[in-house]
Structure 1
Amino acid sequence: MINRFEADARLLYTGPDWDYRLVKKAYDAIERIAVDEMGLDPYPSQIEVISSEQMLDAYASMGMPLFYRHWSFGKHFARDEMLYRKGMTGLAYEIVINSNPCLCYIMEENTMTMQTLVMAHAAFGHSHFFKNNQLFKAWTDADSILDYLDFAKRYVAECEERYGAEAVEQVLDAAHALMSHGVHRYPRRTLNLKREMERERERRRHEEQTFSDLWRTLPRRKPEDGDEDPGLDARRRALGLPEENLLYFLEKRAPKLAHWQRELLRIVRMVAQYFYPQRQTKVMNEGCATTVHYAIMNRLHETGQITDGAFMEFLHAHTNVVFQPEFDDRRFSGINPYALGFGILQDMKRMGENPTEEDRRWFPDIAGNPDYLGTWKSAWAEYRDESFILQFLSPRLMREWRLFSVTDDADEADLKVEAIHNEAGYREVRRALAAQYDLARHEPDIQVVDVDLTGDRRLILEHRVLDGRLLEERNTLMVLRHLANLWGYPVSLVEIDPRDEDILNAYEDVEPDRRMD
């Protein structure tokens, strides 16, 4: 029988206050459960405590505490700070960086229970997902991202000093407007940020060693009347068209950009590429981290390492994280990714431990398999949100959440319920929900399709319209203006119905802003 003194000796902490010794003690206890018992494989962690203002600053700069300067980050900081100070919004308990070592920033305002919770969530849940998911392995370079961000910060500062803050701002404004179109969706090679930094240093050394002002005085060859037009097909082959990565095309082909401007585009493009997996795995990533912290905090309580009061505090915070308002609730703003990811993973555990006949029909490989941890880790490694939902959302969870599919046709006066949570509707509901997490359905398919570099140099883009959804005119014109500013010549965009190649809309000859010349 355990006496009170032995029980007190097991406790990691006894009150809300924390210090660095208690944080280290809790981290070690969490690591024993996560690594030794659950078999997780996270990066080594670096825990840093920051203030609420530092958290707001990290919020503003894409969640990166180390980043280059841009006016939009200050705007976001002012907005978020105002909302936070007035009590209209809260702050995240932590920020975690996909790096090696994994950087976990925790709030100094947190209680000791919350510090324990967020270390389990971020330093082990998120970190395991970052290290093992195939998308992150293909698209990111955790070993070098911090060095690259430091390089980017210094490079932007050097450009501001040499060419002026306004000139740098104009390039970054245009690059940020095109950031979502600056990604290779099918990676050509694994991202290596150390190689990217060395490539820039080598190119700068080469230019300094070979520069001669005499080249500027040489006359340029003008096309002669007898020169043959290589034709559309030949031009496209020579330029590698069509090209969906607009920032990449501009970096390589824009006629008027200086070397430093191309490097700024490359920096924005590398950052966009780095964040691309996170946009595809929000449900899985948060579901993984929430599931891990839930398992670890329960285990700490079972083994007497946290008090009943601390466990109740954890349950209160956890319940808020996974709360899903009903569709007719004023707080409803869509499906909570924490709730959906956590719900599917807990349902997978249930199917492994207490399967029903329905589970055995729908999930023969999972139902009755007691190794639910192995099932979780396999899913975390091999899937993204869309395929994860298509594969693992069960009829039981659809009934519990009362999911149904609605068609909202702009040409119809009424909404139409296409499927409900019954035998006839399960697959349709699951397909419709998964489609909401398919980036290809939400990001417009815009590609460079032609440009005559020996002629008028007008850049022609094509938008392959999906489900009849045309681009919003005002935003499209603003983005095309940014694109034209980088290209240096007029830009045209045509919206085409891919079913019959009919032209649905066109934006003709958007001119660059002359102040960029």
Structure 2
Amino acid sequence: MKAAIAPEPLFTGSDWDFTLINRIYDTVEPIALQEMKLDIYPNQIEVISAEQMLDAYSSIGMPLFYKHWSFGKQFVTNEMLYRKGLRGLAYELVINSNPCINYLMQENSATMQTLVIAHAAFGHNHFFKNNYVFRQWTDADGILDYLEFAKRYIASCEERYGQLAVERVLDAAHALMNQGVHRYPRVRPRDLKAEAAREAERQAYRDRIYDDLWRTVPVGTRADTVPAGQRRAALGLPQENILYFLEKTGPRLESWQREVLRIVRLIAQYFYPQRQTKAMNEGAATYTHYRIMTALHDRGWITDGAFMEFLQSHTNVVYQPTYDSGQFGGFNPYALGFGIMSDVERICIDPTQEDREWFGDIAGSGDPVEVLKDIWANYRDESFVSQFLSPHLIRQWRLFKILDHEGEAEVRVDAIHDERGYRRIRRALAREYDIARQEPDIQVVDVDLAGDRTLMLEHAVNDGVVLDSSDALLVLQSLANLWGYEVALSEVDAETRKELKSHRCNPQDDWMR
């Protein structure tokens, strides 16, 4: 089907109104859905001010959220940097929900509104709905209802138990959020709507079985000692989800405190896929907006001036400083994702002999969008880089691998531009996106509930990188406060099992008051 040529551009200046936003959306939608065949949630587009965008930043980008002092602190910090011109704001913010909520900045020009609709409403939206990590771990249908429940529940706890008591639990739970996720997929994602309803059932059950006489029953003698292996099996140890273990097993937590822990860990789980797919998600959205904006310009829907404005913004987004520029701070996820995806397009349309040897299943296929949609659905950052970073791109980006051992005075170039070197460079870069290496592997390994109740944890250390002592003690203090007894953390080499470091912490006496 031949694409329609615009009788006149959608806009000629930078001004816009809501009628124009609708026309832009109606023009972009057929390109995204009919030509690229993207599969998206229904879109809900909202235009917000800079201050509202700052507020969204502060509450981790969610339209509904419970109150906490850290959000206000974050708002003040971001606002100060923005007002001083030290930090810009995102042109858009998109929520992984059904419908997919897209926030557009009121200050954007008409060109930028077109760009962000293509980027967020279609690029991010398609990725959220189709990528396997999001499909395994998130419930787009239920997240907004669950956030509303969480906000109401925590507000009711503040009224009933006091703001300080709730704040202490939230502070401790937030400190443990990264250790509050399940890293192995469930058979199906958790139904968050049902989760909110189940709390009402749990509370009703507690009310039915409560009997005040139990307070007067004297404490009996110590239970018989249970063999360590049997004890750990009964508690489901080792357990990597520390918040889950506390919620189910914490001996001194009240029912409302357990529910607060559940809220924090379910929200942490919701964001878990985003930590695994940053380069792919931004790359997919950037590739989508580049293709759509180019199509709009080719067909006369946007002017040359608007396209130049777009290209300037796009170039800034995908800019990657070189390692020796003084500005290098790691790989720009937009640049990495978009660069590899553009290279996949080249391989599909105009492959070299080298490409055919490395990517025989996609080289010359002639349909890059279908290939990319398959990639977007079935990979995360680590596997994406390890499978699709090509020798061509390694040469173009002048990538190499060095070894820098702490005990040696010099660094060594470990991989150059030959076949073995390409594979080692690709493997080394992919490891940088392996979430198992980005975050410490800390698990609850034992606790004797019939003894002194010391909670024992173990950190499996990779490459000799131990935890920062001051940070470790601060987080352990939060854990000890929630547990109510001493906490011991042992850092053990993952290969040799040799103990490298240990930490211990006791709960604060006044924390539960």
Report the TM-score range of the alignment, normalised by the length of the smaller protein: over 0.9
Aligned to 1:3: none
Q: Secondary structure at the match of 2:337?
A: helix
Structure 2 distance, partners of 1:263, 1:228, is 31
1:282 aligns with 2:266: no
1:356 aligns with 2:318: no
Q: Secondary structure at the match of 1:48?
A: strand
Alignment map for 1:399-438 (pairs within 5 Å): 399-438=395-434
The letter for the 2-side match of 1:84 is Y
* Equivalent of residue 507 in structure 2, options 491, 503, 512: 512
The letter for the 1-side match of 2:295 is R
Q: Secondary structure at the match of 1:143?
A: coil
Shift of 1:69: 1.0
Deviations 1:14-43 (A, max 9, x none): 211010000011001111100011100011
1:204 aligns with 2:226: no
* Equivalent of residue 86 in structure 2, options 85, 88, 110: 88
* Equivalent of residue 67 in structure 2, options 62, 69, 72: 69
Alignment coverage as a number of residue pairs: 508
Aligned to 1:191: 190
Alignment map for 1:124-163 (pairs within 5 Å): 124-163=122-161
1:219 aligns with 2:218: yes
Structure 2 distance, partners of 1:424, 1:278, is 32
Aligned to 2:42: 44
The letter for the 2-side match of 1:211 is Y
Deviations 1:346-399 (A, max 9, x none): 101101111100000000011111011110000000000000000000000001
What's the C-alpha RMSD, in Å, of the aligned pairs?
1.3
Structure 2 distance, partners of 1:199, 1:448, is 27
Aligned to 2:367: 371
* Contact 2:178/2:268, CA 8 A, preserved across alignment: yes
Alignment identity in percent? 62
Structure 1 distance, partners of 2:186, 2:488, is 28
1:445 aligns with 2:444: no
Shift of 1:8: 7.5
Q: Secondary structure at the match of 1:10?
A: coil
Structure 2 distance, partners of 1:446, 1:323, is 36
Structure 2 distance, partners of 1:163, 1:420, is 62
* Contact 2:136/2:186, CA 8 A, preserved across alignment: no
The letter for the 2-side match of 1:403 is L
Rate the CA distance shift 1:43–1:8 in 2: closer, same or farther, 3 A: closer
Aligned to 2:107: 109
The letter for the 2-side match of 1:217 is T
Q: Secondary structure at the match of 2:442?
A: strand
Deviations 1:308-342 (A, max 9, x none): 11111111111111011111113221111001100
Structure 2 distance, partners of 1:254, 1:228, is 20
**Structure 1: segments with no counterpart, 5+ residues:** 1-5
Rate the CA distance shift 1:196–1:372 in 2: closer, same or farther, 3 A: same
Q: Secondary structure at the match of 2:362?
A: coil
Q: Return the TM-score normalized by structure 2.
A: 0.97
The letter for the 2-side match of 1:397 is L
The letter for the 1-side match of 2:199 is E
Structure 2 distance, partners of 1:407, 1:207, is 58
Structure 2 distance, partners of 1:405, 1:459, is 41
Greater shift in the superposed pair: 85-94 or 420-429: 420-429
Shift of 1:205: 1.8
The letter for the 2-side match of 1:36 is Q
* Equivalent of residue 500 in structure 1, options 496, 501, 506: 496
Shift of 1:181: 0.4
1:120 aligns with 2:118: yes
Shift of 1:413: 1.6
* Contact 2:6/2:299, CA 8 A, preserved across alignment: no
* Contact 2:102/2:120, CA 8 A, preserved across alignment: yes
Aligned to 2:293: 297
Shift of 1:220: 3.2
Aligned to 1:469: 465
Structure 2 distance, partners of 1:476, 1:77, is 26
Q: Secondary structure at the match of 2:510?
A: helix
* Contact 2:247/2:261, CA 8 A, preserved across alignment: yes
Q: Secondary structure at the match of 2:127?
A: helix
Structure 2 distance, partners of 1:83, 1:333, is 20
Deviations 1:217-275 (A, max 9, x none): 2233322xxx5311110100110000010000000000000011001100110011000
Aligned to 1:317: 313
* Contact 1:156/1:264, CA 8 A, preserved across alignment: yes
The letter for the 1-side match of 2:507 is P
Structure 1 distance, partners of 2:379, 2:83, is 39
Structure 2 distance, partners of 1:174, 1:83, is 28
1:251 aligns with 2:247: yes
Q: Secondary structure at the match of 1:449?
A: strand
Deviations 1:137-170 (A, max 9, x none): 0100000111111111111111111111111111
Shift of 1:515: 1.6
The letter for the 2-side match of 1:399 is R
* Equivalent of residue 79 in structure 1, options 60, 77, 80: 77
The letter for the 1-side match of 2:43 is S
Structure 2 distance, partners of 1:126, 1:98, is 8
* Contact 1:57/1:65, CA 8 A, preserved across alignment: no
Rate the CA distance shift 1:451–1:8 in 2: closer, same or farther, 3 A: closer
